[in-house]
Amino acid sequence: MALPPWFAAIGSDHYRSADALVAAVPPHADMNDVAAAWCVYLDQFGGFCGSRLDPQFWRHDHPARHAGAIQVDAGSTVVIVGVGPSLARQAAALKRLRSQVLLFTSLRGAEALAALGLVPDLALVEHQTALGAQVTVSQVRDRGCRNVLDDCPWVAADARTPPELIVGVPADRLFVPEPLPTWGLWPATAVALALMAGASRVALLGLDLGTPIALNPTERPLASLLALLSRIGSASFVDCGADGAYKEGWPRAALETVAEGRPQPSLEIVRRPWTTRTDRLASDRAELHRLGPTIARAGLLLRHALKVRAEGQRAGDPERLKEATREMLGWGDVDPLRIGLQDTLGLSLLPALWGTGIDERLGARLWRPVVLALQELVHQAATLQQRLAADRMGRLAC
């Protein structure tokens, strides 16, 4: 494995401090880099990637039958392909050198490659947020044409992927990548997968992130994450997009320098059966039962906060609202509870408050963050309960 174990652990949002992370993961030669990585996590991701959140519960209906780990030949070059201007400008070179490199890309990247008459070796389907995934679904519907993923040799789909995007992919080509070393940004995830697969060289193409003059400010998290991977990964790193922004740790070079003269690489997926839909539903059912007391308590706190919103100071002792706020924030200090609420219910507002805290000087206005966070929790729990009940009724009807 060419990545330290703490990389994926940070992206999981399961640890609230670097010390807690270090205590939980196996020792590794690169443990000194944890502090720098944790700074990237705090500064660029706000201490929360959201890479495990599935608020739409798409995991229940994911069509994959297998999980899998990627392996490539020693000495292989993997090119991570985006859709930036440098892809079109180097299309001729990429076509000429296609047989000497492996191409990893996204759904949009697969579409761009298809327009050039090329097919990637691996398409990675991952979205940073559920909203981003839903936008992709809408775009695919609007185009009304064949999904290019159906023709890709291998499709690695995050467990949170909307089933509609991958339902047509043949079962023998589709898998859930496990482990998934992600912080939620697919280009960095693709780089991490290439490193874990054993690639000797990783190149970027079409991942411009701006212009030679300046980095696009919205791309700073991805640029910082790519720089981190270049420091901790045991491979050589090259940016073949001369039209893009400078990326720390990724010296610019022509595509020919990383591909010409190399043997034709191959890619293999070591597969195993993935959890069945029945097992995934049963796991959520058990977790929902475990979270039951907290969900019930959240309902009580929510009702009180709503009463304060409606009645103001007449609702009673403002100290009670402060106590409710402290209790809600205290759930973040209990690891199994925090992780269960995040990963099972797909919460985003409450984890954000665990990171930032709430200023009690808001007084009676404390109801605002409390209501927002607890409404999401109660709604998500009710939605999951309804889904599980509907599944049980459907099975009984059969």
> Per-residue pLDDT for the chain (398 aa), expressed as one digit of tens each?
578 999 999 999 999 999 999 999 887 767 778 999 999 999 999 999 999 999 999 999 999 999 999 999 988 999 999 999 999 999 999 999 999 999 999 999 999 999 999 999 999 999 999 999 999 999 888 887 778 999 999 999 999 999 999 999 999 999 999 989 999 999 999 999 999 999 999 999 999 999 999 999 999 999 999 999 999 998 999 999 988 999 999 999 999 988 866 777 899 999 999 999 999 999 999 999 999 999 999 999 999 888 888 776 555 566 788 888 999 999 999 999 999 999 999 999 999 999 999 888 877 788 899 999 999 999 999 999 999 999 877 665 55
Q: Which residues contact 193 (CB under 8 A, 6 or more apart)?
A: 70, 104, 122, 124, 156, 177, 181
In DSSP notation, 269-302 reads EEEEEPPPHHHHHHHHHHHHHHTHHHHHHHHHHH
What DSSP element (H or E) covers 77?
A: strand 77-81
152 shares its domain with 201:
yes
Residues 6+ apart with CB under 8 A from 388: 281, 284, 285, 288
Asked whether residue 35 falls in the same domain as residue 117, the answer is no
- What is the C-alpha to C-alpha distance for residues 87 and 208, in angstroms, rounded to an integer? 9
Any domain includes 229: yes
Pairing of strands 102-105, 174-177: unpaired
Pairing assessment for the beta strands 122-125 and 236-239 based on DSSP bridges: unpaired
Query: Residue 63 and residue 69: Cα distance in Å, rounded?
Result: 18
| Size of the chain, expressed as the number of residues it contains | 398
Residue that is written with structure tokens 């700074």 in the block: 39
CA angle, residues 51, 52, 55, in degrees to nearest 5: 110
Say if residue 177 is preceded by a cis peptide, omega within 30 of 0: no
CATH number of the CATH domain containing 140: 3.90.1480
Asked whether residue 52 is domain-assigned, the answer is: no
235 and 342 co-located in one domain: no
Q: Tell me which H or E stretch contains 348.
A: none
pLDDT at 317: 60
> How far is it, in rounded angstroms, from Cα 82 to Cα 94?
13
Region of residue 78 (phi > 0: left; psi between -120 and 50: alpha; otherwise: beta):
beta
CA distances from 194 to 55, 197, 236 (A): 28, 5, 12
Domain termination site, one of 273, 296, 321 = 273
Residue 202 falls inside a structural domain:
yes
188 and 102 co-located in one domain: yes
Q: In terms of domains, do 117 and 250 share one? A: yes
What domain count does the chain have? 3
Residues 6+ apart with CB under 8 A from 369: 325, 353, 358, 362
70 forms bridges with which residues in the sheet? Answer: 269
One-letter amino acid of 80: I
Question: How many Cα atoms are found within 13 Å in the side-chain-facing hemisphere of 39?
Answer: 7
Residues 6+ apart with CB under 8 A from 178: 67, 68, 69, 274
Q: Are residues 127 and 268 in the same domain?
A: yes
The answer to whether the Cα torsion of 171, 172, 173, 179 is positive or negative is positive
Q: How deeply is 29 buried, as exposed, middle or buried, from its count of CB atoms within 10 A (0-12, 13-18, 19+)?
A: exposed
Q: Which of 273, 291, 319 corresponds to the end of one domain?
A: 273
Specify the pTM: 0.93
Are 78 and 141 in the same domain? yes
- Residues 302 and 198 reside in one and the same domain: no
Within this chain, do residues 121 and 207 fall inside the same structural domain, yes or no? yes
206 Rama class: left (phi>0) / alpha (psi -120 to 50) / beta? left
Domain region containing 132? 58-273
> Which of 273, 298, 333 is the last residue before a domain boundary?
273
84 and 104 in a common domain? yes
Only one residue has tokens 């043997």, namely 263
Nearest by Cα to 173 from 125, 132, 118: 125
222 and 352 housed in the same domain: no
99 and 247 fall within a common domain? yes
Q: Which stretches within 2-84 are classed as H helix?
A: 5-11, 18-24, 34-45
